[in-house]
């Protein structure tokens, strides 16, 4: 893999730099990385301090954030989802990590307890409040994602937020005091009104929208008829593995869960989880 996260010293010169604003990255004809010293000389409305985030193809990479999109000649802003669809896997891994660090840093500029400005901790990926003596580290929100199966059929649903026509698996955040398995049962029942059993864990994927850790399962249908949760689900249906609708992006864990089950039913080689 060309991307390796690490904590870099921002006092060191050179390297490449990403420019981020609210889940969007600036890019040009050469990609998303800019000469660091050149970018820092531009008139940018920087939101907070610089972050050294790791190495891409052996070169040091740093992250800068602005409080609003800025225009630079020959450049344009693209959302993280657009980069996911258009870029290669290593570039998306780089941008996904950078986006999570950017969200964490932006949300911890001030202490949530006393309002005091937070400071980066030298040599550690942490923000520190001197008044409260607390550290805040990058946040991960555990969530489950599950493909419900019934023989040669899989249950897929769509949200109003999805691309027109696309269906995907069910997902939801783990609540306090809840196991991931309990979350699977609860979310499936809440979102589509059916009960499941025989859960099988298949793998996990960091999902930077904005800072989830997706834990992926297959679950067999047990009972019930589809009753959609109106504020969450626009449509939900059983689909044959021989006749599927438009599906999520190939490097997503949602697509991986679907592709694995289809491969097993049709006797095809199983895919490998991207990442």
Binding residues for Zn(2+): 111, 114, 129, 132
- DSSP, collapsed to helix, strand or coil, labels residue 164 as coil
Binding residues: 81, 111, 114, 124, 129, 132, 137, 171, 187, 191, 205-212, 232, 254
Binding residues for substrate: 81, 124, 137, 205-212, 254
Task: Report residue 274 as tokens.
Answer: 């991207």
Angle made by CA atoms 229, 231, 237, in degrees to the nearest 5:
45
Number of other CB atoms surrounding residue 133 within 10 Å: 7
* Region at 62 (left for phi over 0; alpha for psi -120 to 50; beta for the rest): beta
Rounded distance between C-alpha atoms, residue 150 and residue 122, angstroms: 53
- DSSP, collapsed to helix, strand or coil, labels residue 121 as coil
Binding residues for a divalent metal cation: 171, 187, 191, 232
- In order of 96, 110, 174, 270, the CA distances from 69 in angstroms are 19, 22, 33, 42
- In order of 80, 202, 240, 260, 271, the CA distances from 152 in angstroms are 34, 19, 6, 13, 18
Task: Report residue 174 as tokens.
Answer: 């783990």
H-type helices in 25-169, by residue range?
A: 36-40, 80-86, 89-107
The answer to whether the beta carbons of residues 249 and 255 sit under 8 Å apart is yes
Task: Report residue 64 as tokens.
Answer: 């800068």
């Amino acid at each position: 893999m060309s991307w390796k996260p690490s904590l870099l010293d921002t006092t060191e010169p050179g390297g490449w730099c990403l420019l981020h604003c609210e889940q969007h990255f600036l890019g040009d004809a050469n990609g998303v990385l800019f000469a660091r010293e050149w970018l820092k000389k531009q008139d940018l409305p920087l939101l907070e301090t610089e972050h050294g985030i790791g190495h891409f193809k052996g070169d040091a990479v740093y992250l800068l954030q602005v409080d609003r999109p800025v225009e630079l000649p020959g450049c344009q802003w693209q959302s993280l989802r657009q980069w996911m669809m258009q870029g290669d896997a290593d570039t998306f891994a780089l941008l996904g990590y950078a986006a999570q660090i950017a969200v964490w840093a932006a949300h911890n500029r001030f202490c949530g307890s006393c309002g005091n400005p937070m400071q980066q901790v030298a040599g550690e990926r942490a923000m520190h409040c001197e008044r409260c003596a607390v550290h805040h580290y990058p946040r991960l929100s555990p969530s489950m994602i599950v493909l419900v199966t019934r023989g040669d059929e899989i249950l897929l649903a769509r949200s109003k937020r999805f691309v027109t026509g696309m269906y995907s698996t069910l997902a939801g955040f783990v609540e306090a005091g809840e196991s991931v398995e309990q979350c699977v049962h609860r979310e499936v029942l809440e979102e589509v009104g059916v009960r499941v059993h025989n859960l099988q864990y298949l793998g996990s994927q960091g999902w930077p929208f904005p800072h989830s850790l997706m834990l992926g399962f297959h679950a067999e249908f047990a009972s019930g008829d589809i009753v959609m949760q109106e504020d969450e689900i626009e449509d939900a249906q059983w689909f044959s593995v021989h006749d599927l609708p438009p599906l999520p992006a190939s490097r997503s864990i949602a697509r991986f869960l679907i592709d694995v089950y289809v491969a097993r039913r049709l006797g095809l080689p199983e895919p490998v989880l991207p990442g």
